[in-house]
Amino acid sequence: MSERVHALPVELIYKVRFRFLFLCRLIDCSVGQVDRGAVTFFLHLLPTSLVFLFASVDKASIPILLLVCKSSYAWLVPILYHSIEFTTSDQISKFLHSLDTDAGPLDSPFPFVRNLYIGETPSNVGDLSYASTNWSVTTLSRLLWMSRSLERLTIINLDQNEWHKLDHTIPSSVEYLTMGPVHGSFRPQDMKQKLSLKHFTSISTYMRDDEIQDIICYPSMRTFRRILEASTMAPQWAVEQVGCISQSKHLDNMEILLFGRHEYTVLVAEVIQEQLKSITQDPRAIITRDGRTWNAIVYGEYQRSKFAFQRLLVE
C-alpha cells in the first residue's frame, strides 16, 4: 500500500497528505467542539480513492473520521470491518458488545465483514489455545451467525470436539475455509447451510478416506489443501489417500503442502513425489514446500486478502 502512495506524483502526495493530516488533526484537537461543517468541507476536497488510501496506511485515523459525517462513515467502514482478527476471547466479546445497538440492519457493519481470522498469529499467541476453556462456542456462534457476507474464515486451535457445535452457524457465503491443527471431522455435505465453499485447507490433521472423498467431490470445491509438517509421518499417510482424486471432475488441484526446516521439506518432497507417481498420474495432485511455520502461512494469506481489498478500493 505504501508503495502505491509513493508511485503518485510528488506534488499530489504532499498536497493530499497535508489535507488528510490536517483533517485528522482538526478533528482530534477539537473533541466536543469540532465544526462538523468545516471538517466535512475539507474531507470532500480529497478524492475518495485517496481517502481510502491514506486511511488504509494509517488505520488509527479511521475511528476519528467515522465521526465526521455520513459520507466519511460510508467511505471508511468497509476498510475498518472487511478483515478482522481475534486472538483472545475477550476481543470477540467486546467486539460483539460494542455492536449491540437498536439500529436497524441497514446500519449494521456486519455486512462488511468478509475476512475473519480467529486464533493465534505468529506474533500474538493470545488465549485461544487448543482445548482452552477460553473458547466460548456461544460467543463464536453469534459472531459467525451475524457475519452473513463472510467469504474467508480461518479458525485456529478450535478443539476437534467443538467443531460440530459451530457448523450450523457457518455462513453459506464462505468460499475459503481454513481449520486446524487437529480439527474435527469435516464434511461440507453435512453442513446445516449449503456452502459455496471453493477452497478448503486442513492443517496438521489426520483425515479418513471417506472424509477426503466427500470434500473433493463437493460440487463447488476447487482446491483442497493439506498443510503438514515434513518431519512427521503425516505426509506419507496423506499421499496414500490422493488416489480418490479421480472421482472428482471439477477439482482444480489437491495439494499437500510440506512445512518445516528446508532440509526436511526437500527430502520428504522428493520421497513422496515418487510415491505419488505410483498412486496417480493426475496432474491435479501436487506436492509443494514452504519453509515457514503453518501459522505464518495461513496468517500471511489472511493478510494478503486484507491488503488486496485495500488496493482494490484505490484502483
- The secondary element (H helix, E strand) that includes residue 285 is strand 285-290
Nine cell digits for residue 17: 497528505
Written out in words, the top-level CATH class of the domain with range 82-314 is alpha beta
Residue 97's pLDDT is 87
Residue 261's pLDDT is 94
Rounded distance between C-alpha atoms, residue 296 and residue 122, angstroms = 6
Q: Are 49 and 314 in contact (CB under 8 A)?
A: yes
Low-confidence ranges of the chain (pLDDT < 70): 1-75, 101-107, 313-315
- Beta-carbon contacts of 24 under 8 Å, excluding residues fewer than 6 positions away, are 61, 64, 65
For 212-244, the pLDDT digits (tens) are: 999 999 999 999 999 999 999 999 999 999 999
Residue 150's pLDDT is 97
Identify the DSSP state of 202: E
Rounded distance between C-alpha atoms, residue 130 and residue 109, angstroms = 30
Residue 30's pLDDT is 46
pTM: 0.80
CATH 3.80.10 occupies which residues in the chain?
A: 82-314
**What is the identity of the amino acid at 20?**
F
Nearest residue to 153 (alpha-carbon basis) of 1, 311, 301: 301
Residue 6's pLDDT is 46
Residue 208: Cβ within 10 Å count: 11
Rounded distance between C-alpha atoms, residue 191 and residue 89, angstroms = 25
Residue 235's pLDDT is 97
